[in-house]
């Protein structure tokens, strides 16, 4: 059945972010859809942000295009140029290699929901506001290369 039974896919709020960077994403509940659906050409995640939660630390990907569409509620997209409000139906795109970190924050009092797609090569990337990078082999390091000792999940 091509329609996905989202209710049958257990959401997780797992993160590999080292402390204290993990706190901001504790209210991010996501379902990875591609493995369930048998897709391999790109990844797709269904994400619910509880009030106050962030989608991630503000980041970019060196080798992966990213695209999202809001499904419900309201989120604040933050990047170098400031905040932008996203509502149901709004789309945003983040081409790989553009080192203008982005994330969504749920500044509202209700859950918000979005769908995010990523494709390309896992060649690493970085974070705009904190001393952290992620590597092609999914480790977190400081910007000087010192490992944090935790991996991307």
| Cβ 38 to a second copy shortest distance, Å | 4
Which of these ranges, 12-20, 22-30, 51-59, 94-102, lies near a second copy under the rule CB under 8 A? 94-102
**Which residues ranging from 25 to 44 are in contact with a second copy (CB under 8 A)?**
33-34, 37-42, 44
> Of 32 and 139, which CB lies nearer to a second copy in the complex structure?
32
Both tokens assigned to 136: 């092609």
Which of residues 4, 16, 18, 76 is near a second copy by CB under 8 A?
Answer: 4
Which of residues 14, 23, 51, 72 is near a second copy by CB under 8 A?
Answer: 72
Q: Are the C-beta atoms of 32 and 45 separated by less than 8 Å?
A: yes
Which of these ranges, 12-20, 79-87, 128-136, 139-147, lies near a second copy under the rule CB under 8 A? 79-87
What is the 3 state secondary structure string of 42-110?
Answer: CEEEEEEECCCCECCCCEEECCEEEEEEEEECEEEEEECCEEEEEECCCEEEECCCCCCCEEEECCCCC
| Cβ 93 to a second copy shortest distance, Å | 3
β-partners of residue 116 are: 45, 68
Q: Are the C-beta atoms of 152 and 137 separated by less than 8 Å?
A: no
């Amino acid at each position: 059945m091509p329609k996905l039974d989202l209710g049958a896919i257990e959401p997780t709020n797992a993160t590999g972010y080292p402390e204290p960077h993990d706190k901001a994403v504790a209210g991010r509940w996501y379902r990875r859809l591609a493995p369930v659906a048998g897709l391999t050409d790109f990844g797709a995640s269904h994400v619910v942000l509880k009030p106050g939660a962030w989608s991630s630390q503000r980041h970019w990907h060196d080798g992966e295009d990213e695209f999202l569409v809001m499904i419900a509620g309201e989120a604040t997209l933050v990047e170098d140029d400031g905040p932008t409000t996203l509502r149901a139906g709004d789309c945003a795109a983040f081409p790989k290699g553009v080192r203008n970190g982005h994330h969504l924050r749920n500044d509202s009092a209700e859950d918000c929901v979005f769908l995010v797609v990523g494709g390309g090569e896992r060649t690493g990337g970085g974070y705009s506001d904190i001393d952290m990078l992620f590597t092609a082999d999914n480790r977190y390091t400081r910007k000087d290369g010192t490992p944090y000792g935790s991996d991307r999940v």
